[in-house]
Amino acid sequence: MRKVLVTGGTGYIGSHTVIQLLNAGFEVVILDNLSNSSKGVVARIEELSGTGLDFIEGDVRDHELLRGIFAKYAFDSAIHFAGLKAVGESQEKPLKYYDNNVTGSIVLFEEMMRAGVHKLIFSSSATVYGDPGYVCYSETTPLAPINVYGRTKLIVEDTLRDLKKAEPRWQIALLRYFNPVGAHISGRIGENPFGVPNNLMPFISQVAIGSRPKLMVYGNDYATPDGTGLRDYVHVEDLVAGHVAALNTLGDANSFLTLNLGTGKPYSVLEMIGAFERTSGVKIPYEIVERRAGDLPEYYANADLAKEVLGWQARLGIDRMCADTWRWQKTNPAGYVID
Ligand code: NAD
Ligand code: WQD
């Protein structure tokens, strides 16, 4: 049985990944410090998968803890989701972000190395591309992030490229996510941001449930068809399927993968509002406000390489993204606090 360490496994993308891994027959151990997630997620994962898992509450920066974990379990791979992801906060608290995202990654890689575990999937982000001057990003688009969060991702990517050169036995996939949205079809797990959501979809769904009065739409004067920003939203279940495919592919011919995970089809903020209203039957009050600093008008993935290398392609469209988000939000109006 293949055993995977999933850091950040109680978080949004991690929790969905763990279910698919368990369903695919992997054994899973989660390490998460619960800085942006709830322990109640574990019981829901077990309920949905019908399988048990080990959960360890702790920090990926804790060398001793990691050493103990690697001594206890015979892992053959790790998926590293643990990290902080709020772009605005990263600009205000750069040390917190470099420490958590960069130091945390290095401690993990060192302890993997010590334990002889050399297969890794790392959560990277389309943010590593910055603002290249065009809107469709392939993996060869220059890397020039424009915020601290993006730079933490690029530093870890660079670290892994250097590590692979020095230690060829490592098998590594850098997966660059575009805009993950949606939730498990059961409505039992989903995105549960602490505090005010930074991202569009959780904000829309909190307006829909009545916990926020209206959505602020950041600008309608971009050079896009309806003036609002265009993004490549990808359903979390599709995104996660890309991880399972990458894990299965690493170890075959390819041992260093760098792949965009997106749909290639962008939608505007107003289209997302419209789709959410259509699938939920709930009106989303909104107000057009100033552009948000650092936002780009438009970008989306060229995801051809993931199709070629993994046979992966996003399958779920905008209506499923909205319907699944709404099912989760409606049945868990306050997130996981009931657990
Ligand atoms: P999330 O916040 O829901 O999950 C991250 C998890 O990591 C949380 O459960 C948090 O408690 C945990 N964590 C954070 N720092 C930790 C530490 N030092 N030690 C142990 N656990 C720690 O976020 P997510 O949306 O599931 O994102 C997962 C990964 O994907 C992150 O690395 C993020 O940067 C990356 N990513 C996310 C998006 C997105 O829009 N959601 C896009 C691109 C990349
Ligand atoms: C989407 C669109 C906003 C909120 C960020 C990170 C990126 C990645 C995903 C981690 C934009 C508009 C948003 C709101 C709005 N995360 N919007 N009102 O900015 O594309 O990407 O999350 O790696 O790194 O930068 O996503 O969901 O914040 O915004 O009008 O309340 O919705 O202006 O056009 P973004 P988002």
Ligand 2 mean position to 198 CA, how many Å? 7
Is pLDDT of 130 > 60? yes
* Two tokens, residue 124: 């990277």
Nearest to 121, CA basis, from 110, 109, 136: 109
Q: Mention every residue, 6+ apart, whose C-beta is less than 8 A from residue 50.
A: none
Maximum CA extent, the chain: 56
String of b and e for 222-249 (b: at least 16 CB within 10 Å)? bebeebbbbbbbbbbbbbbbbbbbbbeb
Reported as half-sphere exposure (CB side, CA atoms, 13 A), residue 210 has a value of: 3
Question: Cα–Cα–Cα angle for 266, 245, 87, nearest 5°?
Answer: 45
Is pLDDT of 254 > 80? no
- Nearest bound ligand to CA 79? 1
Please state the rounded mean pLDDT for residues 69-74.
98
Cα dihedral: 147, 200, 6, 46 (round 10): 170
Reported as half-sphere exposure (CB side, CA atoms, 13 A), residue 292 has a value of: 14
The tens digit of pLDDT for each residue in 179-193 reads 999 999 999 999 998
Query: How far is 97 from 90, CA to CA, in rounded Å?
Result: 6
Verify whether ligand 2 is closer than 6 Å to residue 218 (CB atom): yes
Nearest Cα residue to atom 8 of ligand 2: 179
Other C-beta atoms lying within 10 Å of the C-beta of residue 303 = 27
Verify whether ligand 2 is closer than 6 Å to residue 148 (CB atom): no
Nearest Cα residue to atom 34 of ligand 2: 229
Q: What is the pLDDT of residue 240?
A: 98
Nearest Cα residue to atom 21 of ligand 1: 32
Nearest Cα residue to atom 17 of ligand 2: 200
Dihedral sign for Cα atoms in the order 307, 239, 151, 4:
negative
Query: How far is 195 from 189, CA to CA, in rounded Å?
Result: 18
Does the pTM surpass 0.85? The reply is yes
Verify whether ligand 2 is closer than 6 Å to residue 272 (CB atom): no
Q: What is the pLDDT of residue 1?
A: 67
Residue ranges covered by each domain of the chain: 3-182+233-262
The tens digit of pLDDT for each residue in 37-71 reads 999 999 999 999 999 999 999 999 999 999 999 99
Is pLDDT of 338 > 60? no
Q: What is the pLDDT of residue 259?
A: 98
Q: Tell me which architecture the domain covering 3-182+233-262 has in CATH.
A: 3-Layer(aba) Sandwich (3.40)
8 A C-beta contact, residue 162 and residue 156: no
Band (pLDDT 50/70/90 cuts) for residue 198 is very high
The tens digit of pLDDT for each residue in 6-15 reads 999 999 999 9
Ligand 1 mean position to 250 CA, how many Å? 22
Residue 158 vs residues 106, 122, 155, 171, 300: alpha-carbon distances, Å: 12, 12, 5, 15, 23
Helix (H) or strand (E) holding 3: strand 3-7
Reported as half-sphere exposure (CB side, CA atoms, 13 A), residue 233 has a value of: 25
Verify whether ligand 1 is closer than 6 Å to residue 332 (CB atom): no
Which residues does residue 32 pair with via DSSP β-bridges, in sequence order? 57
| Closest ligand 1 atom, residue 126 Cα | 43
Q: What is the pLDDT of residue 252?
A: 62
Is pLDDT of 339 > 60? no
Q: Compute the mean pLDDT over every residue in the chain, rounded to the nearest whole number.
A: 96
From 292, 300, 318, the mutation candidate for ligand 2 (largest count of ligand atoms within 8 A of CB) is: 292
